[in-house]
Chains A and B, each alone.
Chain A
Amino acid sequence: MAEHEEMAQQRAEQEAGRFRQLVDDLRTEVGTVIVGLESVVENTLIALLAGGHVLLEGVPGLGKTLLVRTLSEALDLQFSRIQFTPDLMPADITGTMVLWEGPGGEREFRFQQGPIFANVILADEVNRATPKTQSALLEAMQEHSVSVAGTTHELQEPFLVFATQNPIEMEGTYPLPEAQLDRFLFKVRVQFPSLDELHEIMNRTTGLQMPHARRVANREEILSLAAIARQVPVATHVQQFGLRLLLATHPDNEEAPESVRRFVRYGASPRGAQALLLSGKVRALMDGRFNVAVEDIKASALPSLRHRLVLNFEGQAEEIDPDDLIGEAIEALEARSQRDVPV
């Protein structure tokens, strides 16, 4: 028994080492193509290993699409890009039944898979499609399956949706409904690159050769690493911190800061807590730890919760940034959680 446990321990340590190695390799490979955007890459990798979807928000031209494409290249995963437009129909995403005529003239309806049947989906400008089309993505994102004509088609794991949206040009768009936003593990904001980063981008993209990422992992390895991440233990107080943080985003909660009470209509859903803990586990392993820390929860709070807060009219009118509300909630919680010896 003891030997078995020791072997399990050694295996866990080896897997954790492999996890870190793969993440480092992925980071390196993505870094050969993507300049800067460290936090975006970091969060994207975390979402990948946590098995969650990412909503990338940023103005056009910041490399969102390139990032996702590079990631899929490095992972040897099936990549599919869907450009969302107002006239895009759900069947254009999920696929449809088409009339198939056999060599003998027999005809039958067969399911023609849409672009969603891939491992990595880039839903470009997802807010330009109609809600009906957007909702086609809903089942796929949550259930990892597609139902067409009464038949459910399983999607191959890993199934990751990287959706992008432009926060500025809102005319003629259909903002994602709360239910759909909640399906995303992270909402990552892509910042404009700095001057040095721009220099580097120019150097890399205006030459004769475009850099490409090497494949460093395959589908099985990704699934294996995702399973390892889920084994990372979480202490009670860490989990409690995550849950209290989630509750603190609710205006009727006693631990909610004043700003949340004032500007928030609905707080984050339980999926937010799942996102916090899952991403925390991945962060812990990436950092070489076997446990989730409160710091991991805090680091994951903004991308995990910012898209789950529903502001009230006053909040929208005041153009309140959910990041500020989450930051205040964290500060309020920390002030109450400073349990330490008084020396």
Chain B
Amino acid sequence: MAVDASALISLDAAQAALRGRLRWLRLWVRALLFVRLAILGVAVASIAMVLIYGAGRLYGITHSAQDVLMPLALACAAALFAALIWPLSDRLMAMSADRRAGLWDRMATAIELSAGDRPSGMERAQVMDAVRMLSAIRPLQAWPLRFDRAAKVAAGGLVALLAVQLGPIPPLLLSRQEREERAELREIARELEPAARELEEEAEETDDEEIEQVSRELRRLTQQLRRGKLDKRQALLELDDMQERLQKLEQRIRQPSLKTARETARKIGQRGRQELARKARELAERASKRGERELERRMRELAEQAREAKSAEQMRKIGAEMQTAAEQMGAALSPSALLDALSVALEAEDWAAALEGLEALQGMLAGGDRQLTEEEARELAQRLAELAEKLSDTELAELAECLKKAGECMKAGDCKGAAACLGRFGELKAVEFREALKRAGKCCGGCCAGLRGTCSGRAGMGIGPDRGSRQSIPPGTPGASLYAPREADVDASPEAVRSHVRPGGEAYTSPVPVRGAPDEVAPSRVPYYEVIGDYSRAAEDALEREEVPPAYRATVRQYFQSLQSAEPAPDDSAAEERDDG
């Protein structure tokens, strides 16, 4: 700020210029004061946080970025407040300027003389001299921005804070077990890295926000694991959550559009109509060979009707008439005709008919009126596999799974096993499919209403009430509560052990805290005969590999023994399940 020329003539102007210049200098000094105090505050806060948060990390307590930024922001705010209220009188500023700019007490003397009433000639000359000198002062030279020891301490504190927040815990501070656990987690991180990279690439290709977010979090988790920032418990929790997210994401990615599902259903229905028409033509040819012209004509009509059937009801009627005709000719209609009706029911989204078709097929396989021939069984197996394959990429993936298993059973000649597999598909999944189609605006209200309230079997398996995959349990399927602490008469902490298998085939376990008692909201239920063998084997393997912590081994053994010894009767279990529903 240059001094006005009039200030060098008029004493009043000189005094005003003097004080005005001092105001500017005071502003600069306050800014510097803020910087200095902020540095001091950041130094103190960062050192305190390093001590507190560092100690916390050793005990597994992590702090978010907000926990770090908030104290630093408070320190800066306090510094700003202190800088604003710091007493900086004219006299103090003048003395400081004298000292720092080498003014030889010109400013302080001038400030003092300015307060006098009638300055002498020498005193006026002094004030003018001070004003002239003051105009030459450069604030940055008089009060330079210096970074002294406090700045170094603050920088060091921040670096240490970053290290505490982001860096790994030095191995020296870890027990041997913790070091091994972290090495194991680093190995997991190494294995996860390709998946993370793949997901990143997919996110870039698809420009999908959710994939990008999951990819980012997976990358972060991988880094944290690699750097040893998480202890085993935290890591397993994070891995569990990430696994769930990845599964959901995978389901969403693989889920075709409803249009595709409907196209699949149309193809299935077309195939069903063609098959039934083919069977009708076969019966017509058989009737022709027997010379039964009327029956031949009727079968050909039925073949035409089958090709144009619109509903499962029509298909069933055609099938029933064909069955009667076949019996008249001493033959039998292939059981795959039931699948033809089921196919048309799926195409028409007639879930009641579809379920009826399934139940009819299940009933026939579970102990029908006649024994299937080998050819019929093979044909049925082929049709089941074909149907399963077509449905595998649709919302009815679980139905497809059931059909696939049933087909495999049929291929092996196990009709009862096939019936049991078909029974796995319950109304719940049908309802879900119905809801999915309803969202697409294609589902009629009538068919939804027809199914409403008929859901009876919520099934799930896993540790808690909301964890694990949900599966339908058909009525009458025996089931038992799994992982129910009340049934397992042990005194265990609310923590469960989950087993995993790594890509190399190596199994490992992880403790997972139970989020609420398993039977508080809804009991977790699953047919135990399907899983108990796998679970027992996995548990025994884990016990043999000494991967289950010693404190849990007795509990695990006792638990499975209690399950086997408390095996309920199938009828009782079914009744219990119906009550639950």
Contact = CB atoms under 8 A, between A and B. Distances in A.
Interface of A: 5-13, 16, 228, 231-238, 284, 287, 289-296, 339-343
23 contacts: A6-B9, A8-B121, A9-B125, A12-B120, A16-B122, A228-B122, A231-B122, A233-B113, A233-B123, A235-B112, A235-B113, A238-B108, A289-B126, A291-B105, A291-B106, A291-B126, A291-B129, A293-B104, A293-B106, A295-B105, A342-B33, A342-B36, A343-B32
B87 to A, nearest CB: 10
A284 B106 CA distance: 11
Contact of A235 (B105, B120, B121): B105
- Looking at chain B's contact residues, is the secondary structure mostly helix, strand, loop, or mixed? helix
Given A339-B92, A340-B96, A341-B33, A235 B108 contact: yes
Contacts of A339: 92, 95
Closest 6 CB pairs of A and B: A8-B121, A290-B126, A12-B121, A293-B104, A291-B109, A9-B124
A12 B88 contact: no
Contact of A289 (B106, B119, B128): B106
Given A341-B33, A341-B92, A290 B122 contact: yes
Contacts of A231: 120-122
A9 B128 contact: yes
B124 A233 contact: no
For the side of the interface on B, what is the size category? 35 or more
Nearest to B34: A343
Contacts of A11: 121
B508 interface: no
Contacts, number: 99
Interface in B72-127: 86, 88, 92-93, 95-96, 98-100, 104-106, 108-110, 112-113, 119-126
Nearest to A290: B126
Contact of B95 (A6, A16, A237): A237
Contacts of A296: 104
A233 B109 contact: yes
B11 interface: yes
Given A291-B105, A293-B105, A341-B92, A233 B126 contact: yes
A343 B83 CA distance: 11
A290 B33 contact: no
Contacts of B29: 341, 343
B106 to A, nearest CB: 6
Given A16-B125, A340-B92, A340-B95, 17 more contacts: A8-B120, A8-B124, A16-B122, A231-B121, A233-B109, A233-B123, A235-B109, A235-B112, A287-B104, A289-B126, A290-B123, A291-B104, A291-B129, A295-B104, A296-B104, A340-B100, A341-B86
Given A6-B9, A341-B29, A341-B93, A237 B124 contact: no
B125 A12 contact: yes
A290 B124 CA distance: 9
A289 B123 CA distance: 11
Interface string B123-144: 1111011100000000000010
Nearest to A236: B112
Contacts of B125: 9, 12-13, 16, 290
Nearest to A10: B121
Contacts of A238: 105, 108-109
A234 to B, nearest CB: 8
Nearest to A234: B109
